[in-house]
Amino acid sequence: MSAASSSRVVLVTGAARRLGREIALALAGAGWRVAVHYRGSAEDAEQTVADCAGLLAADVSQVKSAAFACDLNDEDAVRRLLPQVVAQFGRVDAVVNNASTFEFDDAASFSYAAMEKHLRSNTGAAILLAQALHTHLLARQAQQTENTERQPGCVVNLLDQKLWNPNPDFFSYTLSKAALEAANTLLAQALAPVLRVVGVAPGLTMTSHMLSAEEFAALHRLSPLGRSSTPADVAATVRFALENQSITGTTLLVDGGQHLMKFGRDFSLMGGAPLKTID
């Protein structure tokens, strides 16, 4: 591992558990120092920090990993988050916007409150963190000599295959991810050449309390490739997006092709029902 690669810092939101933890560990394994963001899962966040630090080479003398609490619905707190990471690590090179509110509503129960909650954490926070990274990288560039080799920073936004295969369940969540997909393009335009902005859209990857293990396995197989994405697939794609220097303003779908099919309901509500797609 080169000194340059071991000095890179990535902030991964919602990295205490589940997909975010998997992404954090994959990036630490690739030499990234990881800022682990969490909201309520403090103990799990400390475990992710310890596991990430353990994956970095013993001779990395800088801060290897650290945890940062922040409610992404709180705009002031979100504005403080990236500067706090810079204060601890000395720099930030990338942000993975993984954390997400995922609460059920539909067209009948939709409310401004539900919409605002999802838009704040899933869309607004992701945009503010991109804005903060851009500001930080501009300040860093101002201190460098003209001959310094510059690599753009990178923001990866976790989207969802259901944007390409819509159903009206989880109405506000879906709207917030659709807005983030639009922001992915707008930010790539606005923040180049300082930043690249890439979407990663998983298919059904992790189960929820709404599905039994058998139901999850059956739904996971329901794709053209006979398997949706695993956490390792998604984490590897995030790493690829962070490290490939020519990708920006686009989204990589990692879903076994589920977006090519049509489902009438959200996966988490398809347990118990006969598995079928719609025409």
Chain residues binding ligand NAP by CB under 6 A are 14, 16-20, 38-41, 71-73, 98-102, 121, 158, 160, 202, 204-206
Nearest approach, Cβ of residue 216 and ligand NAP (Å): 9
- Distance (Å, whole) CA 60 – CA 221: 42
CB-nearer residue toward ligand NAP: 27 or 137: 27
Smallest distance from the beta carbon of 100 to ligand NAP, in angstroms? 3
Smallest gap from Cβ 120 to ligand NAP, in A, equals 7
Q: Which is nearer to ligand NAP, 133 or 137 (CB)?
A: 133
Min dist CB 39 to ligand NAP, Å, is: 3
Nearer to ligand NAP, 137 or 253 (CB): 253
CB of 31 to ligand NAP, least distance (A): 23
- Select from 160, 154, 157 the least CA-distant residue to 183: 157
CB of 150 to ligand NAP, least distance (A): 29
**Identity of the residue, 119 or 137, whose beta carbon is nearer to ligand NAP in the bound complex:** 119
DSSP per residue over the chain, as a string? --HHHHH-EEEETT-SSHHHHHHHHHHHHTT-EEEEEESS-HHHHHHHHHHHHHHS-TT--S--EEEEE--TT-HHHHHHHHHHHHHHHS---EEEE---------TTT--HHHHHHHIIIIIIHHHHHHHHHHHHHHHHHHTS-TTS----EEEEEE--GGGGS--SSSHHHHHHHHHHHHHHHHHHHHHTTTEEEEEEEE-S-S--TTS-HHHHHHHHH-STTS----HHHHHHHHHHHHH-TT--SEEEEESTTGGGS--SS-GGG-TTSPP----
* Closest CB to ligand NAP among residues 206, 236: 206
- For ligand NAP, the nearest residue by Cβ is 14
For ligand NAP, the closer of residues 20 and 137 by Cβ is 20
